[in-house]
């Protein structure tokens, strides 16, 4: 019982990209879902006082954005990467850029150094870095 040719010809960098975006998607669904279920931030243990000075009174809108843009969208991209859809390559780059933008906006709104900002910033850069590797690009043509 061997590995099918379809799976063998995927470079390791593509598998790493799929895994990295998959982890982001699952955490985006979980984090966004918790903010949607409890817009006060209590499920995650974040005080609404962090939103002082922001355009938000609760975490509902950020939760919906997190759930959809950094939860659902990355999982759709994982499907596209796995199935080698042409749209998946620019979509993977968009996921990485979206994560970097999210972290930067979050830092501007609530301040830097909170929770998982720096690891997520690195994750966004890694996603873009993996996506632009020639082996990944070639695998998605």
- Indicate the pTM of the whole model: 0.88
Number of domains in the chain: 1
CA dihedral of 127, 130, 136, 140, whole degrees rounded to 10: 10
In this model, does residue 78 exceed pLDDT 90? yes
In a domain, 60, yes or no: yes
| Predicted pLDDT of residue 4 | 47
In a domain, 114, yes or no: yes
In a domain, 6, yes or no: no
The model's pLDDT over 16-63, given as tens digits with 9 standing for 90+, comes to: 999 999 999 999 999 999 999 999 999 988 888 888 888 889 999 999
In a domain, 2, yes or no: no
DSSP letter string, 73-91: HHHHHHHHHHTT-TTHHHH
Domain of residue 37 covers 11-139
In this model, does residue 5 exceed pLDDT 50? no
From the list 31, 33, 133, the residue with the least C-alpha distance to 92 is: 133
In a domain, 3, yes or no: no
From the list 17, 6, 2, 3, the residue with the least C-alpha distance to 135 is: 17
Answer positive or negative: Cα dihedral of 116, 121, 124, 130. negative
In a domain, 126, yes or no: yes
In a domain, 75, yes or no: yes
The model's pLDDT over 61-76, given as tens digits with 9 standing for 90+, comes to: 999 999 999 999 999 9
In a domain, 18, yes or no: yes
């Amino acid at each position: 019982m061997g590995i099918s040719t379809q799976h063998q010809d995927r470079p390791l960098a593509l598998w790493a990209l799929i895994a990295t975006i998959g982890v982001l998607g699952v955490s985006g669904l979980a984090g966004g879902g918790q903010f949607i279920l409890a817009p006060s931030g209590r499920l995650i243990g974040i005080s609404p006082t962090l939103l002082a000075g922001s355009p938000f009174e609760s975490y509902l809108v950020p939760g919906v954005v997190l759930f959809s843009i950094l939860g659902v969208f990355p999982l759709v991209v994982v499907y596209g990467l796995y199935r080698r859809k042409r749209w998946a390559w620019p979509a993977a780059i968009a996921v990485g850029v979206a994560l970097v933008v999210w972290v930067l906006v979050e830092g501007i709104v609530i301040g830097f150094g909170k929770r998982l900002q720096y690891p997520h910033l690195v994750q966004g850069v890694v996603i873009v870095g993996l996506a632009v590797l020639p082996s990944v690009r070639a695998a998605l043509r």
